[in-house]
Amino acid sequence: MSQRVFLANLSDFSEKGRQVFSVQGSSVLVIKVAEQFYAVANHCPHLGLPLASGKVEGSTITCPFHGSKFDLASGENLDWVTSFAGLKIPQWSRRLLEMGKKPTPLQTFPIIVEEGKLYIEL
C-alpha cells in the first residue's frame, strides 16, 4: 500500500523550479516544468551521484557528471554515459566510463498537488 508524504506548500516551492527533499532518509529531487511537477530519486543510476544540478530540457534531465539522460515522467533511460566533465566522449570510451553498469532507469515517484500542497507517494 502506498504512503502519501507531504513535501511543501506550493507557495514555498523554490522559484528556481527544482528542490531537493529528504524523504524518509532518501534524497528526492522535485522539478517543475511548465506547471508540471516531477519527482525522482536524486541519485543517478549510473554511479549514484546527485542529479540536482542536471540540465532539464522539457521533460528530460541529463546527469551533470557523465551525461546520462532520463525521462522525468517515466524514468526511462534515453541515453547512457555520453560525456565526462561536460565534454562528449566517443562511443568506444563510453564502455570504460560505464564501469560495467548497464543502462538503468531513474526511480520516479507519483506526485500529487492538492489544495496548495505538494506530496509524493512512496
- Summarize as ranges the residues that interact with ligand FES (CB under 6 A): 44, 46-47, 49, 63, 65-66, 68, 81
**Which one, 70 or 109, has the nearer CB to ligand FES?**
70
The answer to whether 55 touches 62, Cβ cutoff 8 Å, is yes
C-beta closer to ligand FES: residue 8 or 98: 98
Minimum distance of ligand FES from residue 101's CB (angstroms):
8
70: nearest Cα among 106, 107, 32? 106
Q: Which is nearer to ligand FES, 37 or 80 (CB)?
A: 80
Phi-psi region of 65 (alpha: psi -120 to 50; beta: other; left: phi over 0): alpha
The conformation of residue 10, written as its DSSP 8-state character, comes to G
- Residue 58, SS3 per DSSP: coil
**Measured from the CB of residue 118, what is the shortest distance to ligand FES in angstroms?**
26
Least separation in angstroms between CB 89 and ligand FES:
11
Whole-Å CA distances, 118 to 9, 15, 55, 121: 6, 15, 23, 10
Q: Which is nearer to ligand FES, 7 or 29 (CB)?
A: 29
Contact 46, 62 (CB under 8 A): no
**In the complex, what is the shortest distance from the CB of residue 5 to ligand FES, in angstroms, rounded to a whole number?**
25
